[in-house]
Copies of this chain bind each other. A is one copy, B any other.
């Protein structure tokens, strides 16, 4: 049985529905993947994830290598057993995290709107938006060479080195069902020369990741699938070159990476327009970092993306920023508000609002608690606030994805999209 099976393709767009078959279960696509950076989706337990319909959890090589270390997780029997999540897992290779150690200091301000974190967490580790909790001043990118990358831990400043071989080896030990090639995530504003140099490394490293992956004896007794990553910053020619190169290797899936993917949707749409016609259609397509807004999801699914992840839904939840349906958004926010489909429950007007977070949401939080109570929990810095907000935001996305898959299957993707976007 192959990893991926396409069950339906939309006639009017490139959207498709499918199934990813893994040893830890099937994943219906298109699919949003909740982020569990440090072997836990912040504030939730695996039962919560199961109840809200998460099909797969994403975790992170950089973070798990530093803490608790891949050897401890291997000894525990792998990441599934360590965190007691028996569903599918995908681990990012750590490339994004390592490179954002260098980039984030200058970029902090520009991503201020996404730096949502609880006040409690901020005291422990200030965090950048896309990199889950690694903005500690001790972390630093030390050196990049053609063989690999040397960096300092954001936790204790200790020196570490990743190569395509070591990043792959760590991911073997962690034992995720889907693992990622080690890549160099080029900043958006890289000039042509430096983006070209970085891309050459990313491609060489893709080959080495592939070779290392296929040279090993499987550690955990089930298949691990390896995805390649297309880079190339905002350069059309480099993105096309990368799409062709990554497609030339028989990866199990193809990802589109880069700083702007998911965080600048205009740039993201450009990139997808360049690369999607060039990559094989029969493998899963993964847009890394998409899901800041429910509306962004429509844009990438429409263009043929099957999988995506983003820390924003969970991180912003912990800051009180909660997804609502367009109808609810129109009632709670002014017309000039950005079309985020979020309300901020910490706003004073919710203190005496005894209705649910979103009357159009069927999640357990909306069925149970009032805006006034959730507002109180945030106001009082109560830990339950983060859990309820995270449950709501993830449930919201899981329901959206379920309905989107049904719409694709029914041939009505575009009219479903219009239901969500017509109020704007």
Binding site for B on A (CB under 8 A): 38-40, 42-45, 63, 67-68, 72, 75-76, 82-84, 118-125, 351-352, 354, 368-370, 372-373, 375-377, 379-384, 386-388
Contacts and interface: CB of A to CB of B under 8 A. Distances in A.
A351 B76 CA distance: 11
Question: Chain copies in the assembly?
Answer: 2
Contact of A45 (B42, B380, B384): B384
A53 to B, nearest CB: 17
Contacts of A119: 123-124
Contacts of A354: 75-76
Contacts of A368: 84
A45 B51 CA distance: 15
Given A40-B377, A82-B370, A119-B123, 6 more contacts: A38-B382, A63-B380, A72-B352, A82-B372, A120-B124, A122-B123
Contact of A38 (B63, B121, B352, B380): B380
A381 B68 contact: no
12 contacts: A40-B377, A40-B382, A42-B383, A42-B384, A44-B384, A68-B351, A72-B352, A75-B352, A76-B370, A84-B369, A84-B373, A120-B124
A67 B381 CA distance: 11
A40, A67, A82, A379: which has the most chain B beta carbons within 10 Å?
A40
Contacts of A380: 38, 63, 67-68
